[in-house]
Amino acid sequence: MALEVLYAVDHEGAFSNIALNRVLEKYKPEKLDRGFTTELVYGTLRTLNTLDWVLGGLLKKPLEGLPPWIKNILRMGVYQILYMDKVPDSAACNESANLARNYGHAGTVKLVNGVLRNVVRNMERLEFPDMEIDPVKSIAIRYSHPEWLVRRWIQEFGPDATAKLCQANNEIPPNMIRTNTLRISRDELRKNLAAEGIEARPGRYAPESLIIEGFKSVGSIAAHQSGLFMVQDESSTLVGHAVHPKPGCLVIDACSAPGGKSTHMAQLMENRGQIISADIHPHKMDLIRENADRLGIEIIKPVVLDAAELDQQFTGNADYILVDAPCSGLGVLRRRPEIRWRKRPEQIDELHSLQVKILNSAAACLKPGGTLVYSTCTITPEENTDVINEFIDSNGDFFLEDLGGYLPEKLAQMPGTDNLSRGFVQFLPHIHGMDGFFIARMKKRQ
């Protein structure tokens, strides 16, 4: 199962979460096998740089020259040997050889078996590049990130903080959900989940958030089926609080699929008013509708629309607009580990131009005195503070508004959140323990 997913991600460009869900639905494994498969997939993708570095030192020919099936069998085998303590080394070697027999030939079986047994013999003698001599290469290999990304983070944060950030990106993220407060309180939801044998504890910041453990799949949980919660990380949930829409108002969610932030804002509005949930992808409309229907939300209107052309339909109408902009996604690497290998530095500048264009279009849709919130799930200044500064400089009727009154007080005491009073905040995984998100709140002058 894990090999099928890795092949789809590596060779066909699939997204790991979609490919994994597809395979798990296909084979319907038991809970233990499901967990093992998930760990093997995400773990291999997280540590790809390290695995390929280890293999590069043992193979006579370049790893990239091997057939995709064999290359990923080797990667999975090394991951189990180096990182999965409960898997005996002999089992990792034998099962990998069996896979090579199914997906290759006698020569590849011999190769896989020989290389992995060589890893077992030499793993105690592995020496990563020296941090003092070459911090970029050391962090890139030790914590498995592309060198261009490590280099820019060292310039911005310094080597120690960069190492901590990369470590945080390799941690298994918590299963975070947001209580549907239209139907149930967070405490009552905890009791419901406990009755299903699911452990739930409050998140660190957002008042609706819970961390859940001990379940087979989210879709199998009765409380999910009956619309009592939505899967959503805390940093994403805090975006809705930053908007803080009042009941009865008109809200535009400019890039809304799959509807997490739209449905949260509907909760905050007590299901009164209207939310235009716009997205450029027609196939995502059903997803927005399904989530709204399951949660019992009636005020969301999904609309197929390019966010850069919002002003062609909604000029001057909205009380609140959320622009959760398309971005590089570098704040969610722990959830989408393959992103780090697919991004390129030049894409960041391209995204900056698109983000400014969307913000300018959204701004034209706002009433005087209205609120415009900009958010991303990335941590690059070019996509965050640079976008906001460029927008404010070219739109004199907008100003940044203090975020302190809209986000939980606990956040104000955390390191790195000293910009709340200036109207924006950057969450970082290694500091705040949640996905890397940027949020800015702006007001249009009366």
Buried b (16+ CB within 10 A) or exposed e, 39-63: bbbbbbbbbbbbbbbbbeeebeeeb
Asked whether residue 98 carries a pLDDT value surpassing 90, the answer given is: yes
pLDDT band at 399; cut points 50, 70, 90: very high
Q: Residue 382: what pLDDT?
A: 98
pLDDT at 21: 95
pLDDT of residue 409: 85
User: Residue 437: what pLDDT?
Assistant: 96
Q: Examine the pLDDT at 413 and tell me if it is beyond 90.
A: no
Express each pLDDT in 243-284 by its tens digit. 999 999 999 999 999 999 999 999 999 999 999 999 999 998
- Cβ distance 391 to 359 under 8 Å? yes
Average pLDDT over residues 349-360: 96
pLDDT of residue 217: 87
Which among 78, 70, 81 has a CA at the least distance from the CA of 107? Answer: 70
Share of the chain above pLDDT 90, in %: 91
pLDDT tens digits, residue range 52-61? 999 999 999 9
Checking if the pLDDT of 111 tops 90, the result is: yes
Q: What is the dihedral of CA 264, 270, 276, 282, to 10 degrees?
A: 50
Q: What is the predicted pLDDT for the residue at 418? A: 75
- Tell me the average pLDDT across 8-29: 95
Helix axes 89-103 and 106-122, enclosed angle (nearest 10): 160
How big is the CA angle at 439 (ends 437 and 445), to the nearest 5 degrees?
170
Give the pLDDT score at 411: 85
- Is the pLDDT reported for residue 417 higher than 80? no
What was the pLDDT predicted at 402?
94
pLDDT at 415 over 90: no
What is the reported pLDDT for 231? 97
All domains in the chain, ordered by first residue: 2-125 (1.10.940.10), 135-169 (no CATH), 176-231 (3.30.70.1170), 234-444 (3.40.50.150)
Higher per-residue pLDDT: 418 or 266: 266
pLDDT of residue 316: 87
**Mean of pLDDT over the chain:** 95
Tokens (6 digits) for 86: 């409960």
Give the residue numbers marked as catalytic. 377
Model confidence pTM above 0.85: yes
Residue 297 has a pLDDT of: 98
